[in-house]
Each structure stands twice: as structure tokens, then as C-alpha cells.
Amino acid sequence: MHKLILWDVDHTLIETGGVGGEVFKDAFEQVTGRHIDRLADVTGRTEQVIFRETLDLYDIEDPGDYFPQFVEAQATGYQTRADEMRERGRVLPGAREALAAFAELPGITQTVLTGNPQPSALAKLQAFSLDGLLDLSIGAFGTDDSLRPKLVPIAQGRAFERYGHTHTEASTFIFGDTTSDVEAGQKGGAQVIAIASGRTTAEELREAGARTVFHDLADTAAIVQAVTTSSP
């Protein structure tokens, strides 16, 4: 059976070291003309939701095209600050090795499932040279839908269009660090391998329903095995 791996980006593969929040605020100000000190809760949520709630937080009315403008400004921000992000941020321990190990295995396709807009996800992964290990043409992004569970069938559909493989819950795996990643798997139709490398604890991830939880990606063999030996 061909398997499809869907990686969350932030706090699963990489951390921006605070650059992400600053880029968000700068892009928000460019688009709305308003300087902001804080933004809505970001954990596990799609960018459309974070953006909309931050508008609400400051009582700003959207004339209708703010989000697409924001997406463009944010991606430019990440591209411009790639060096700084590499300095302040990092690839999480074991992430590159895990991606490289899966890339070597036959019968496995790996891409991203992220709340990030497509161009920002690409800019982040490029900054850390992880993009070449992923098949980003079939990824699902925060620009595809505001609801994370809906991103699972979007990625499965793209994998089918491109490779002709039909993916179900039995063959689809999400790696993610939040309860939203767990929920995306449960409601969207994917098995979840939770990684407690973000702000959510292993216990919280288990309580949310994750059957497989790792503290990090450091043990490449164990991570690979979680996918290759898994049965739904």
C-alpha cells in the first residue's frame, strides 16, 4: 500500500524563533495601516482564522481583499528575512533526518498539511532547505481552507490527481504538534503521529486522541517505523 505523509510545519519541522510573529505584525500593518502589538491565538490554527480574529481584536473592518493582500506581504516578509530566521530559528531535532529517511523509502510520498498560506510555507521551508525533501505540489495549506480537517482530503485529492494513488485513513499519516493536528486526522481521515515538540504536552496530545506520541523526532528509526508498521 502506498502511503501519504502530511507534515505540519511550525513546531513540528521548524521554529522561526519569533520571526514569524514579527512578520505577521508587519504584514498586517502594511495591509490595514494599523500597528498591532498582539495577535489572536495561533496554536494549530489556519492563517485565515488568525488573521480574521486579529482584525476583530482591533475592530478593523475588512473591505474584502485584506487576506490575499496579507498573504502576499507575509510571504515577502519571510523571503526578506530568511537569513534572520535561520539565525534565530531552527530545524527541530531529527526533522531533517526523518524527512530524508522517508524520502529514501519506496511507496511513500510526503508533503505538508499546514495552516500557513502556501507562499509563506514555501518561504519557510526554503529558508531551512527542507523544501527539496517534500512534494509540495500536493500539499494542503491555510490558503486552501480555514478548517484544518478539510485540508486532509485536499492533500489526498492532489496526491490522486498527480500519482493516481487513492489514499484513505489507512494510508494517510499526519505528523503534528497540536491538538488541532490530532483533530484534523480524526475528522479529516488520517492517522496521527503527534510530536510534543511545541507548546502542547504529550499528555494533552494523548487526551485529544493521539494514539502515537513522540517527544521529538530525534529517533529516526522509531519515527520511520511508526509509519511503516502502522495499521489503522
Q: Which residues bind Mg ion (CB under 5 A)?
A: 8, 10-11, 177
Report, in Å, the least distance between residue 190 CB and Mg ion.
15
Q: CA dist 138 to 111, 202, 230, Å?
A: 7, 29, 23
Sequence-distant (≥ 6) Cβ neighbours of residue 73 within 8 angstroms: 26, 27, 30, 31
Report, in Å, the least distance between residue 43 CB and Mg ion.
7
Report, in Å, the least distance between residue 6 CB and Mg ion.
12
Report, in Å, the least distance between residue 176 CB and Mg ion.
6
Q: Residue 8 or 135: which CB sits closer to Mg ion?
A: 8
> Do residues 42 and 85 make contact, with C-beta atoms less than 8 angstroms apart?
no
In angstroms, the CA 123 to CA 11 distance is 16
Report, in Å, the least distance between residue 64 CB and Mg ion.
29
Q: How many CB atoms are closer than 10 A to CB 81?
A: 21
DSSP E strands, 121-197: 172-176, 191-195
Q: Residue 32 or 200: which CB sits closer to Mg ion?
A: 200
Report, in Å, the least distance between residue 187 CB and Mg ion.
17
Q: Residue 8 or 26: which CB sits closer to Mg ion?
A: 8
> Do residues 114 and 8 make contact, with C-beta atoms less than 8 angstroms apart?
yes
In angstroms, the CA 232 to CA 229 distance is 10
For 113-122, letters b (16+ CB in 10 Å) and e give bbbbbbbbbb
Q: Residue 124 or 158: which CB sits closer to Mg ion?
A: 124
Q: Residue 11 or 25: which CB sits closer to Mg ion?
A: 11
What percent of the chain is helix, strand and coil (3-state, nearest 5)? Answer: 50, 15, 35
> Do residues 46 and 183 make contact, with C-beta atoms less than 8 angstroms apart?
no
Q: Residue 8 or 47: which CB sits closer to Mg ion?
A: 8
